[in-house]
Amino acid sequence: MAAEERLEWMTAREIAARVAAKSLSPVEVARATLDRIARLDPQIHAFLTVCEDQAMASAREAEAAVARGDPLGPLHGVPMSVKDEAWVKGVRATMGSLLYENFVPDEDSTAVQRLREAGAIIVGKTNVPEFMSWGRTTNRLGPETVNPWDTRRCPGASSGGAGAALAAGFGPIAVGSDGGGSIRIPSALCGLMGLYPTPGRIPDTNSFSYARVGSLGPMARDVRDLATMLNVMAGPDGRDQRSPPPLRDVFAELEQGVKGMAFAFTPDFGRIALQPGLGETVRAATATLADLGARVEEPGLQFPDVWPWFSAAIDDDGALKERPFTRSAAFKTLCADNLDRLTDYGRGVAQARLTPEALEAAKARTAAVKAQFAELFERYDAILSPTLPVVAPVLTEGSGDLYPEFCCGTYFTAIVNVAELPAASYPCGLLDGLPVGLQVIGPPGREDRVLRILRTLEQALPFTAHPPAFA
């Protein structure tokens, strides 16, 4: 493989095609990826655990399958990372907490099992804040993850390790998760694409997921890679009890553009203050869609601040009343005796209690938000907004909130989780040398439409920049 081919910036599709054509070796790809991680990750701390031995064994198996002429999956030989929320058999799963620093599951999560069956090679587990519940990717297990675009800055959370790994060229795809913006926020801050699927679209079986409206989801640098990952991971497994609408063929209309579509653009949901210049960067991207034949209107949307009732809204069946949980039997229950091992924000999650009155009030408010979105989708094919009100913030000492006015940066994203709508972030430009994200919100169950809009943006407004120090 010639050095100028720059393996670290190839898409998953390119790697899989080259592997199938026998012009690229899965062993060579895995070795190069692991060597890059060993050389550069000490600067950004994207990984909690690198599983080198398991990855190389999988790569050798993948190479043997090619040699035998076996049928190959769409991700055959592709290196990737998994957020340390979904379980990987034989690799420790921590949820960013000292409580689970030595927990090694004996099963893959459903999502990881399906990715392996598609030929993907897991190179490691990426960093998360404790219980995936904070706006910084920091915990007591190791150093805080920083942003490859500027290592003084935050990569977002809670999939911040996944975002940093992709931005640094540690594989073309990653599994993240999103319960209030945790895929879309790191994607926006790290110059990536990330999809929050309809809750239940990708089963969360054998993971640390504990939010009813949360979802595992794909992160990538290429829209078709996102679509491929979604196809691989999606579908009921008989264990996750959520029932989303059937997934439409995400490739059927992917290349058909946006001509004739109608979009509502909101720069602020009627109440969110933006960093100067950010709104103009996102608005310019929406103008590109208008130039391609879409109707883009700015109807002056007014949405409520969901944070006063967010913790109740995400779990209206009351399952979070007592403590973090998962449906998986092997999950360990938090004990009061262990609270001193938690971070301050993790302790707050562990001790949270929701009253029946709070849950009932959240149900009513959630229903009102869903009705507001439903009325909009009678007139528009999608809703567009910034993903975040700011570019990547500078890290401060300690673990304080970097977005004191924006609740961990989720003002644009959390309302989408409350409404259980598919949404994605697209890197639509740079502001002061840092990535800016455009959020695309689709109607219920329409990941195919969200990806179609992203693909149109990718073709008309390609984002080809990489972090200078890592490119």
pTM over 0.85: yes
pLDDT at 2: 44
Q: What is the pLDDT of residue 199?
A: 95
Has 109 been annotated as catalytic? no
Task: Tokens for 363, please give them.
Answer: 């149900």
Measured CA to CA, the distance from residue 57 to residue 470 in angstroms comes to: 27
Is 332 one of the catalytic residues? no
Alpha-carbon distance of 59 to 119, in angstroms, equals 9
Q: Which of 109, 158, 159, 177 is catalytic?
A: 158
Q: Which two tokens stand for residue 446?
A: 């329409």
- Please tell me what DSSP assigns to residue 83: E
Supply the pLDDT for residue 277.
97
| Whole-angstrom Cα Rg for the chain | 21
**Smallest Cα–Cα separation from 282: which of 381, 360, 385, 397?**
385
pLDDT value of position 309 = 80
Which SS3 state, helix, strand or coil, does residue 208 take? Answer: coil
Q: How far apart are CA 399 and CA 55, in angstroms?
A: 33
Q: How far is CA 422 from the centre of its chain?
A: 12
Cα distances from 60 to residues 119, 167, 285, in angstroms, run 12, 26, 43
Residue 159 designated active-site:
no
Sheet with strand 262-265: strands edge to edge: 47-50, 121-126, 79-83, 173-178, 215-220, 193-196, 423-431, 434-441, 382-386, 262-265, 295-297
- Provide φ and ψ at 97, rounded to 5°: -125, 140
Catalytic residue among 25, 58, 81, 83: 83
pLDDT of amino acid 210: 78
Per-residue pLDDT reduced to its tens digit, 185-215: 999 999 999 999 999 999 999 998 878 899 9
Q: How many CA atoms lie within 13 A of 463 on its CB side?
A: 31
Q: How far is CA 7 from CA 2, 83, 149, in A?
A: 9, 22, 19
Q: Residue 179 has which token pair?
A: 């319960």
In degrees rounded to 5, what are phi and psi of residue 187? -60, -45
The whole-number pLDDT of residue 315 equals: 63
Torsion, CA 435, CA 121, CA 329, CA 242, rounded to 10: 60
Q: For 396, how many CA atoms within 13 A lie in the half-sphere containing its CB? A: 9
Could you give the CA distance from residue 226 to residue 126 in angstroms, rounded to a whole number? 18
What is d(CA 453, CA 460) in angstroms, rounded to the nearest whole number? 11
Give the rounded percent of residues in the chain with a pLDDT score beyond 70.
Answer: 91
Would you state the structure tokens that stand for residue 153, as one six-digit string? 């800055």
Residue at token pair 């919100």: 441
Q: β-strand 193-196 against 215-220: which pairing, if any?
A: antiparallel
* Strand 215-220 relative to strand 173-178, pairing: antiparallel
What is the Cα–Cα distance from 286 to 385, expressed in whole angstroms? 9
Q: Are 150 and 392 in contact (CB under 8 A)?
A: yes
| Catalytically annotated residue among 81, 159, 182, 207 | 182
User: What are the phi and psi torsion angles at 295 (to 5°)?
Assistant: -95, 120
Q: What is the pLDDT of residue 333?
A: 54
Q: 442, 453, 160: which is closest to 289 by C-alpha?
A: 453
Residues of the chain where predicted confidence (pLDDT) is lower than 70: 1-5, 314-337, 345, 347-354
Residue 337 in contact with residue 445, Cβ under 8 Å? no
Tokens of 401: 């909130």
CA–CA separation, 202 and 233 (whole Å): 6
Domain chopping of the chain, boundaries: 3-460
Which amino acid type is present at position 248? R
Two tokens at 31? Answer: 């070795």
Q: What's residue 336's pLDDT?
A: 54
- Residue whose C-alpha is closest to residue 430's, from 419, 438, 422: 438
pLDDT reported for residue 17 = 98
| 23-34 exposure pattern, b = at least 16 Cβ within 10 A, e = fewer | ebbbbebbbebb
DSSP state of 157: S
Q: Would you identify the CATH topology of the domain 3-460?
A: Amidase signature (AS) enzymes (3.90.1300)
CA distance 27 to 292: 42
For CA atoms 190, 194, 199, 204, the dihedral sign is: negative
